């Protein structure tokens, strides 16, 4: 502690420095408590307790923040998953529609080809031109 020019004697009244007001006498216990209250150089054990308390308060704050955000975050995450599923369903549905179009076009082509091949046989059976019956 720096020497402030005050006497370190145990007199009943502290002598003020020039320009300071005189302080009323205080009990030694109160003086000691006041000096420890403002002492920022805490003993090692106190620092650990203080760090633990600050860490615990930080943890509680994080949990409170998480609780207040989790319903929204949970909804957003579920919505994102649902959108992903819906995108996949849309993609597969479009693929199935395209496959149906291709299949329907192929069926129509085969039907037309088949009709073009069997039409002459139906014409012969009905007694059409060149039948001879």
Task: Give mean pLDDT, residues 25-36.
Answer: 53
Closest C-alpha among 5, 61, 8, 62 to residue 31: 8
In a domain, 3, yes or no: no
In a domain, 52, yes or no: yes
Instruction: Report d(CA 18, CA 11) in Å as an integer.
Output: 18
Predicted TM-score of the model (pTM): 0.36
Cα angle, residue 71 at apex, residues 65 and 73 outer, rounded to 5°: 80
In a domain, 2, yes or no: no
Instruction: Please state the domain count of the chain.
Output: 1
Higher pLDDT, 70 or 23: 70
In a domain, 119, yes or no: yes
In a domain, 25, yes or no: no
pLDDT exceeds cutoff 50 at 112: yes
Please report, rounded to a whole number, the percentage of residues in the chain having pLDDT higher than 90.
14
Tokens 């005189």 label which residue?
Answer: 22
In a domain, 6, yes or no: no
Higher pLDDT, 46 or 83: 83
Instruction: Categorize the per-residue pLDDT at 63 as very low, low, confident or very high, splitting at 50, 70 and 90.
Output: confident
Identify the pLDDT of residue 3: 47
Q: What is the mean pLDDT of the chain?
A: 70
In a domain, 114, yes or no: yes
Instruction: Report d(CA 58, CA 50) in Å as an integer.
Output: 12
In a domain, 29, yes or no: no
Q: Which domain holds residue 110?
A: 42-125
């Amino acid at each position: 502690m720096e020497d402030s020019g005050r006497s370190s004697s145990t007199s009943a009244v502290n002598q003020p420095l020039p320009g300071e007001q005189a302080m009323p006498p205080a009990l030694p216990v109160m003086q000691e408590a006041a000096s420890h209250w403002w002492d920022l150089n805490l003993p090692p054990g106190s620092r650990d307790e203080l760090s633990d308390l600050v860490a615990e308060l930080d943890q509680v704050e994080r949990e409170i923040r998480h609780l207040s955000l989790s319903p929204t975050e949970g909804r957003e995450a579920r919505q994102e998953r649902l959108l992903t599923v819906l995108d996949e369903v849309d993609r597969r549905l479009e693929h199935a529609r395209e496959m149906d179009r291709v299949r329907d076009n192929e069926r129509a082509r085969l039907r037309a080809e088949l009709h073009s091949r069997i039409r002459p046989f139906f014409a012969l059976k009905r007694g059409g031109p060149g039948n001879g019956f």
